[in-house]
Amino acid sequence: MRSRLYPSEYLALLTEKYEVEVDKFFNALVSAVKDQKSSCGELTVECREKKNNKVVLLITRESKVVAQFQIPEAFFQESSHSLREVKNACQSEKQASRKNATMQSLQIKDLRIGMKKVNLKATVIEVSQPTFVVTRFGNYANVANAMVQDDTGKIKLCLWNDQIKTISVGDTLEIENARIGQFRNEKQLRVGKTGTLKIAQRCGLVTKLL
């Protein structure tokens, strides 16, 4: 990963951080180069120096320095459209990075009570007999526990209603967006309404989404 940003990337990040429109910010930069000083919302842009086809810009907010950087004059011959494209690309890259971080699988040894958005791949080694219960909302339901394991440990997976009939010992599961709760002082893996439970491998059968 590059440790240094291109000028357009740096400026795009500034527009996002200080919530200013790309067109207005770009025009403020151009005005500062031409007239020495300009403003864009709460930001003040000042041209400090012009030398060797480069300019030094100082950006302040309520007298506090936000940024000072050197940029080629040729940059201002472009349009704000190119800066907007860079900003959109940076936002897309950031969203993709967050998604990848969220989707990264954990191991059972890493699980802690209270964790959310847990993704895990594990094998079913035991499934308990279903128990008929009344939920706190007054609904009737069947509930069972499946013991699942990976190379680092074991944990109970709480199963409800139709989930129970679709899980068998030996199945390899891919669990996404689950959370780690506690029942009778024991950690428990729970797949709520926003989570998914997928059979990744079952005796040669095709993958099936539950």
- Mean pLDDT score across all residues of the chain: 81
* Same domain, residue pair 73 and 126: no
Helices (H), 18-154: 22-35, 80-103
**Both tokens assigned to 156:** 């109970």
* Same domain, residue pair 155 and 173: yes
Question: By the 8 A CB rule, do 148 and 122 touch?
Answer: yes
pLDDT at 99: 56
Do the domain assignments include residue 74?
yes
Q: What DSSP character marks residue 205?
A: B
Domain residue limits at 73: 7-103
pTM: 0.48
pLDDT at 96: 53
The whole-angstrom distance between residue 120's C-alpha and the CA centroid of its chain comes to 17
Q: Write down which residue in 103, 128, 156 finishes a domain.
A: 103
